[in-house]
Each structure stands twice: as C-alpha cells, then as structure tokens.
Amino acid sequence: MDQLEYFHLPPGGTPPELSCQQPFAAVVVIKADISAEWRRSVSRWLVQSGCLYMMAWGTESSAWDDSVDHANLEAFDYDEIPDEHLVMTTWHDNEPLEDVLWFATNSLEHPVRKIARLILIDISTQERRIEIMNSIARSAD
C-alpha cells in the first residue's frame, strides 16, 4: 500500500470526510458494541466514499461484512453492480489482527481496480492509533 491512514471512530460518531476520491481498502477494527442502524450508516459511508475492499475484524465482524454488501447493493438499486464498483468484503472472527493487517498491506487485490490506499477504521471508545500501528509493524515481521 502506498498510503496508510488511521481514523478513530467512536461508537455512534460521525465518520470523517475523506478528502481524496481515490479508491481505498478499509480494515474496520471493531472493539465496541454498536447499533445495527449505525453500522448501516457507516457501511453506506464506506461505499459512498470509494471503499472497494472492506475487511472487518472484531465484535460482530460478520454483521459488518453483510452490512457493507447490502450498502453496495443499495447503491445500485439492488441491480447488477459494475465490476469497477464491486466492494469485496471479508470478516475475521478467529484470526489475529496482525494476520488481517498483513494481508491488507501485502496481498490485497481488487479484481479490476488498483488500490493503493488503506484506511484503518478503529471503532472503539478510546483512540488506539499507537496500538494498531504497532500491530501493523508486527505484521510485517
């Protein structure tokens, strides 16, 4: 990945405006309980902001996978999604975060678009930039 960004997103918070319209991958690290409606809202934001690959890790990660899939379908009125707008999704219940981060920074590929930007979205009550960035460093070993 050429570009790496970290965002802390407290449960119920408003997602940030993303300044660049460049397609991106996102690792959503969930360490808090949240409402299904807020998850839907954040999923729509991911799709509308240009996310083309979303990996969910942590609390209810499979629900995040489903929610982003639905947001992608909704964006195209539940019709066929053009390949260049298809959002790939995965969830990781029983894997170390370092494994997910390693894949995101070393092996991630979209079927038709180049992705050079990775956004780490930390859904937790406390900001954990150092902890998560250290996880990325450990994943490189």
pLDDT tens-digit profile of 115-137? 999 999 999 999 999 999 888 88
Taking only the tens place, the pLDDT of each residue in 36-84 is: 999 999 999 999 999 999 999 999 999 999 999 999 999 999 999 999 9
Give per-residue pLDDT as tens, 85-122. 999 999 998 899 999 999 999 999 999 999 999 999 99
Query: What is the domain extent for residue 71?
Result: 3-140
The answer to whether the beta carbons of residues 18 and 49 sit under 8 Å apart is: yes
State the CATH number of the domain containing residue 101: 3.40.1280
Q: How many distinct structural domains can be found in the chain?
A: 1
Residue 141 confidence class, pLDDT cut points 50, 70, 90: low
Residue 91: strand, helix, or coil: strand
What is the C-alpha to C-alpha distance for residues 74 and 69, in angstroms, rounded to an integer? 9
